[in-house]
Amino acid sequence: MFYVLLTGSGEGCDHSIGCNMRWQKLRASTFKEAEEEVSNLVDLFTHIPIKNALILDVASYGDFDIKLDREFKEARQRKEQEQTDRAKRKSEYDKLRPEFEKSIYSDGVVSG
């Protein structure tokens, strides 16, 4: 599967990603066919001067779910924060535990 990235002359606009650029899926099944198809495609863009054409042979592709990726990262961060908080509380508990256990036994709260 071949794609071409056509880039127009000039800077384009400044308000979006990929301005003055166009991806086009090609019907070609060989690189040579892709070159011929791109040559014909460039000829069609007489109203927009094409500066560059990058042909890509894509073996596989897929949609990337950005929302799901962000949710996964946020969940992982929450879990890591919970683990950090728990470790911190346990460390504090381990430091204070001997003092309070000693206090409980010496105050007569618990008979030994």
pLDDT score at 32: 97
In order along its 112 residues, the chain shows pLDDT tens digits of 999 999 887 666 665 566 788 899 999 999 999 999 999 998 887 777 888 999 999 988 888 999 999 999 999 999 999 999 999 999 999 998 888 777 666 666 555 5
pLDDT score at 71: 97
pLDDT score at 107: 62
DSSP assignment of the chain, as one string? -EEEEEEESS---SSSTTTTEEEEE---SSHHHHHHHHHHHHHH-TTS-EEEEEEEE-S------HHHHHHHHHHHHHHHHHHHHHHHHHHHHHHHHHHHHHHHHHTTSS--
pLDDT score at 98: 85
pLDDT score at 46: 75
Q: How far apart are CA 32 and CA 40, in angstroms?
A: 13
CB 45 within 8 A of CB 4: no
With b for 16 or more beta-carbon neighbours within 10 A and e for fewer, the 44-81 pattern comes to eeeeeebeebeeeeeeeeeeeeeeeeeeeeeeeeeeee
Judge if pTM exceeds 0.75: no
Q: Which amino acid is at 41?
A: L
